[in-house]
C-alpha cells in the first residue's frame, strides 16, 4: 500500500449514544427489535426517550468507534461524518479529537440536530439500538476531502451509510478516490437488518469495490440468504481480498487467498454491554493489517480490542489498548 | 413531622457532569485542585474541555444526585434547580424524571447554557470537579414553589447554592417556607472550599436555621477553623438537631441529643469514582430518617448507598438501592 501519512480514514454516521439499562419487558412493550439497529424518526425518538430510564451520553457511531479504537492502538487515523453545531455535536467532535483522531468535517449550521442512538442495554449485555439520524442526512459528496482520502492506506466505510440517501454518493466517491490513490477499501455490513434493506447493492459493492470486508454471522447469512454459516462462508470465498467474519463468543474466521483462519474469542469475565464489539474488532484487525502483522495476529489484536469494549458500559475503549495488545503479543 | 405527600424536596445547582479519566500530571499542568470543586468561567471551561480526554455526559449536581438516590430507595421526592432549555438541559430533566423525581422548575429560555461540571477522575478514584455554573445563576426566589416546599417533610439544600447570588434568596425563602409548614431543613456544607468562601454565613445558617446537617471531615474542620476532628465534632454538638459527619473509609459519626453514633463504612472492593459519595450518603440517611428508622440504621442505609455509588463511574445509583438496603436490613 506504500507509505501514506494516514493509516485509516473512517467514514460513517456521526452519532451520540444515549445508553440506558432496561429489561426485556420494556423492549417488548415498546416493540424494539432486540440486538438490532432500528432507524426511528424524531417523534419516535422523543416518545422512546420519554419512556426510557436515566441515560448516559457517550459519543458513538460505528465507524467513529472503530476509528477511535484504531487511534487508541497508536494508529494514525481521521474520520469523516456529519454532526450539527449543537451541544451534542460539539461533544462528538471533542471526544473524537481527544481520542487522537483527525476530524475536520464541517458541522451543519442548520437542519436537524446531531444524530442520537438510544441504546437499551439488557442484563445479558445485549444492546438494542434505536437511531435518529438527524444531521447525518446532510453528509454529502462535498464532505469527502480528496486529500484526506488519498492520504490513507485504508478507507473504511459502514453499511449504515446506505441509509441516508446523499451519503451513498459520498460513499461511492470515497471508494473511487481511495482506489485511484492506491489505497484499499474496507466495509462493514453493519447490521443484518441493514443488509436486508440493501442486499443487492451490498452484493455489488462486495463483488466489485471492497478489498476488506467485516461481517458478523447474521449479516453474512443475510447477505447470501442462507441459514447455513458454512454455506455463507463458502459463498464469500474469493469475493474480497480479506474477509473477517465474527461470531461473538465463538470467535472469528478470517478468509484470505483461499485459506480460512479460525481465531478464538478473547475470554471475558462478564459481557456488560456488547455495544461496539464489532467496531473494536475491526479497529484491532485493521491496525494489525496496516502494520503488517500476519492475519492470525491481526485477528488476535481484534479479539483483544473487542473483549475490552464489551467488558464495560459504552462503545469506546476505556483501558490502554496499546498496552493490552503489547502485553498479549509480548512486544 | 406529620403526614406529607412528599418526603423530600432537594434544591441545588442543576448540572450535567462530563466525566473523564486523567492522571495527576494533567491536574498539576492545568492547576486543578485535586478532590475539590472549583468554580470556572466559560472561557476556562472551554479551554479545559479542549485539553481533557474523551468524556461521558451524565446528569449530576449534588442535590439532584441525592434526590435521585432518595427516589431510587422508594422515597417520594421533588427537585428544584435551573437548567436552560438546551440539549443538556433536556438531558438533565429527563434523567431526573426517569429516576422518579418530580421536577417542574421552568427551564431558562435564554442566557447561559445548562451548567456543566468537568469531573476529572484519577486512577485512585478521586474526582476533581470544575464547575461552570451557566444557567444556575438564573435560579431565583420565583422558582421556589411554596406548595411544593410545604408538601415536603424535609427540604434539603446544598451549600453550593451560596455561589450564584440570586440562589441565596431562593435558599432563604425555601427555609422559611419549610419551617412555616412544619417541615425540617437539611443542609450539606458541600465542599471545604465552599465553606471557606461562606464560613460566616454557613455558621449563622447552622446555628439558627438548619435541623439536619451533612458535612465531611474537611468541611467540618473548615467550618470551625480547627485541624482537630474531635474539637470540630465537639463544637458541632448541640447546634443542630441531627448532624452526620462523613470520613470516607473511616465511616461516619451521627450526632443527636448529646450522643455520638459511630457508623462503619460499608466495605468496597475498589473505589472506581468517588463522585457522589456524600450525595448518596445523605440520600440514604434522609430516607432512613424520614421513614422513622433509628439513627444507626439510617447511618447504615447511608453507608450502603455511598458504597454503591463509589463502586462505579458516575454519581447516580446503577444498582437497585431498594433491594440492596432490604437485603442488608433483612426486611
Residue B92 pLDDT exceeds 60: yes
Is residue A146 domain-resident? yes
- Is A91's CB within 8 Å of B57's CB? yes
Measure the CA–CA gap between A134 and A268, rounded to whole angstroms.
35
Residue A2 is predicted with a pLDDT of 56
- On whether residue A118 sits in a domain, the answer given is no
Residue B331: pLDDT band by 50, 70, 90 thresholds?
Answer: confident
pLDDT of residue B3: 79
Q: Between chains, do B21 and A318 touch, taking CB under 8 Å as contact? A: yes
Q: Give residue A153's pLDDT band: very low, low, confident or very high (50, 70, 90).
A: very high
Q: Is the pLDDT of residue A146 over 60?
A: yes
Residue A209 CB neighbours (<10 A): 17
Q: Is residue B191 part of a domain?
A: yes
- Shortest alpha-carbon distance between residue B200 and chain A (Å): 38
Mean pLDDT of B104-114: 97
User: What residues in A contact B316, CB-CB < 8 Å?
Assistant: 54
Rg, C-alpha atoms of chain B: 18
Q: Can you give the pLDDT at residue A3?
A: 79
Query: Which residues have CB under 8 Å from B131's CB, separation 6+?
Result: B13, B15, B37, B38, B39, B40, B115, B116, B117, B118
Contacts of A232 (CB under 8 A, 6+ apart): A217, A220, A221, A223, A224, A226
Taking Cα atoms as reference points, which of A287, A297, A59, A104 lies closest to residue B54?
A59
For residue A44, count CB atoms less than 10 angstroms from its CB and return exposed for 0-12, middle for 13-18, buried for 19 or more: middle
Q: A303-307: long-range contacts (C-beta < 8 A, 24 or more apart)?
A: A303/A251, A303/A252, A303/A263, A303/A264, A303/A265, A303/A266, A304/A266, A304/A328, A305/A69, A305/A73, A305/A280, A305/A281, A306/A246, A306/A265, A306/A266, A306/A277, A306/A278, A306/A280, A306/A281, A307/A265, A307/A266, A307/A267, A307/A268
Q: Which of B52, B53, B57 has its CB closest to that of A57?
A: B57
Categorize the per-residue pLDDT at B313 as very low, low, confident or very high, splitting at 50, 70 and 90. confident
| Statement: residue B291 has pLDDT above 90 | yes
CB within 8 Å: A98 and B59: no
Distance in angstroms (rounded) separating the CA atoms of residues B64 and B59: 8
- Select from B49, B59, B316 the Cβ nearest to the Cβ of A94: B49
CATH of the domain at B188: 3.40.1190.20
Q: Where are the alpha helices (DSSP H) in chain B?
A: 24-29, 42-51, 62-72, 87-98, 146-150, 165-180, 192-208, 217-224, 229-236, 277-290, 295-310, 321-329
- Residue from the list A57, A98, A314 with its beta carbon closest to the beta carbon of B52: A98
Spatial distance between the Cα atoms of B220 and B236, rounded to a whole number of angstroms: 8
Distance CA B306, CA B317 (A): 9
CB contact under 8 A, B94 and A68: no
Cβ-based contacts of B65 with chain A (< 8 Å): none
Render pLDDT for B233-274 as a digit per residue (tens, 0 to 9): 999 999 999 999 999 999 999 999 999 999 999 999 999 999
Q: Which residue has the cell 478507507?
A: A155
Q: What distance in Å separates the CA atoms of residue A146 and residue B176, rounded to the nearest whole number?
A: 66
Which residue among B59, B98, B314 places its CB closest to the CB of A52? B98
Which residue is closest to B58 within chain A, CA to CA? A56
Longest dimension (CA), chain A: 54
Q: Note whether residue A123 is domain-resident.
A: no
Alpha helices, H only, chain A: 24-29, 42-51, 62-72, 87-98, 146-150, 165-180, 192-208, 217-224, 229-236, 277-290, 295-310, 321-329
Assign A76 to helix, strand or coil. Answer: coil
pLDDT 10s digits, A87-98: 999 999 999 999
Q: What are the angstrom distances between the C-alpha of B66 and each of A46, B151, B214, B284?
A: 27, 18, 12, 8
Q: Band the pLDDT of B2: cuts 50, 70, 90.
A: low
In angstroms, the Cα distances linking B254 to B9, B45, B218, B257 are: 22, 37, 16, 10
Nearest-CA neighbor of B275 among B132, B131, B127?
Answer: B127
Question: Mean pLDDT for chain A?
Answer: 96
Is there a contact between B54 and A95 if contact means CB atoms under 8 Å apart? yes
Contact state of A95 with B318 under an 8 Å Cβ cutoff = no
- Tell me which residue has cell 454503591: B308
For residue range A182-229, what is the model confidence (pLDDT) as tens digits?
999 999 999 999 999 999 999 999 999 999 999 999 999 999 999 999
Query: Are B12 and B163 in contact, with CB atoms under 8 Å apart?
Result: no
To probe the interface with B, which of A72, A79, A87 has the most B CB atoms within 10 Å? A87
How far, in Å, CA of A228 to CA of B22, rounded? Answer: 47
Residues of B in contact with A19 (CB under 8 A): none
Q: Which residues contact A293 (CB under 8 A, 6 or more apart)?
A: A301
Inspect the interface and report whether the beta carbons of B87 and A113 lie closer than 8 Å. yes
Please indicate, yes or no, if residue A176 is contained in any of the structural domains: yes
* Residue B130: pLDDT band with limits 50, 70, 90: very high
Residue A60's pLDDT is what? 97
- B50, B87, B315, B320, best to mutate vs chain A, most A CBs in 10 Å: B87
The answer as to whether A26 is a domain residue is: no
- Cell numbers linked to B134: 451557566
Q: How confident is the model at residue B100 (pLDDT cuts 50, 70, 90)?
A: very high
**Containing structural domain, residue A172:** 6-13+61-111+137-329
Are B113 and A87 inside 8 Å of each other by CB? yes
pLDDT at A50: 97
Instruction: Report the chain A residue with the minimal C-alpha distance to residue B86.
Output: A87
Q: Do B68 and A50 touch (CB under 8 A)?
A: no
Q: Check A94 against B50: CB less than 8 A apart.
A: yes
- Residue A65: strand, helix, or coil: helix
Cβ distance A328 to A296 under 8 Å? no
* Residue closest to A38 by CA, chosen among A246, A203, A191: A191
Indicate if the pLDDT at residue A1 is higher than 60. Answer: no
Q: What percentage of chain A exceeds 70 in pLDDT?
A: 99
Residue A19 falls inside a structural domain = no
By Cβ distance, the residue of A52, A88, A96 closest to B87 is A88
Contacts for B232-236 with beta carbons within 8 Å, 24 or more apart? B233/B260
Provide the percentage of residues in chain B whose pLDDT is more than 90: 96
Residue A67 domain flag: yes
What does the block give as the cell for B241?
Answer: 438537631
A299: cell is 485477528
**Res. A154 pLDDT band, cuts 50 70 90:** very high
Q: Is the pLDDT of residue A262 over 90?
A: yes
A91: Cβ contacts below 8 Å, ≥ 6 apart? A16, A57, A59, B55, B57
Number of domains in chain A: 1
In this complex, do B88 and A86 lie within 8 Å of one another by their Cβ atoms?
no
Question: What was the pLDDT predicted at A331?
Answer: 80
Amino acid at each position: 500500500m506504500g507509505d501514506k501519512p494516514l493509516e485509516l480514514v473512517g467514514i460513517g454516521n456521526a452519532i451520540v449514544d444515549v445508553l440506558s439499562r432496561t429489561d426485556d419487558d420494556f423492549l417488548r412493550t415498546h416493540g424494539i427489535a432486540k440486538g438490532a439497529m432500528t432507524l426511528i424518526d424524531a417523534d419516535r425518538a422523543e416518545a422512546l426517550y420519554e419512556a426510557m430510564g436515566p441515560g448516559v451520553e457517550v459519543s458513538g457511531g460505528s465507524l467513529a468507534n472503530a476509528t477511535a479504537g484504531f487511534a487508541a492502538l497508536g494508529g494514525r487515523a481521521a474520520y469523516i461524518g456529519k454532526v450539527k453545531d449543537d451541544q451534542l455535536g460539539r461533544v462528538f467532535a471533542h471526544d473524537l479529537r481527544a481520542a487522537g483522531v483527525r476530524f475536520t468535517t464541517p458541522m451543519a449550521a442548520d437542519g436537524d440536530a446531531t444524530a442520537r442512538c438510544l441504546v437499551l442495554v439488557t442484563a445479558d449485555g445485549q444492546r438494542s439500538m434505536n437511531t435518529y439520524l438527524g444531521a447525518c442526512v446532510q453528509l454529502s459528496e462535498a464532505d469527502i476531502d480528496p486529500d484526506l482520502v488519498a492520504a490513507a492506506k485504508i478507507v473504511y466505510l459502514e453499511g449504515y451509510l446506505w441509509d441516508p440517501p446523499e451519503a451513498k454518493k459520498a460513499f461511492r466517491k470515497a471508494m473511487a478516490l481511495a482506489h485511484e490513490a492506491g489505497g484499499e477499501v474496507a466495509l462493514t455490513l453493519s447490521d443484518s437488518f441493514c443488509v436486508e434493506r440493501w442486499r443487492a447493492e451490498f452484493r455489488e459493492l462486495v463483488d466489485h469495490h471492497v478489498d476488506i470486508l467485516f461481517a458478523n454471522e447474521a449479516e453474512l447469512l443475510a447477505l447470501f440468504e442462507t441459514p447455513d454459516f458454512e454455506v455463507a462462508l463458502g459463498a464469500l470465498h474469493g469475493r474480497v481480498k480479506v474477509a473477517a467474519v465474527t461470531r461473538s463468543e465463538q470467535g472469528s474466521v478470517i478468509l484470505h487467498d483461499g485459506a480460512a483462519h479460525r481465531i478464538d474469542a478473547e475470554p471475558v469475565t462478564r459481557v456488560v454491554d456488547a455495544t461496539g464489539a464489532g467496531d473494536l474488532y475491526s479497529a484491532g484487525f485493521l491496525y494489525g493489517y496496516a502494520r503488517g502483522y500476519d492475519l492470525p495476529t491481526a485477528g488476535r489484536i481484534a479479539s483483544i480490542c473487542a473483549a475490552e469494549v464489551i467488558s464495560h458500559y459504552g462503545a469506546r475503549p476505556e483501558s490502554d489498548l496499546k498496552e493490552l495488545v503489547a502485553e498479549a503479543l509480548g512486544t
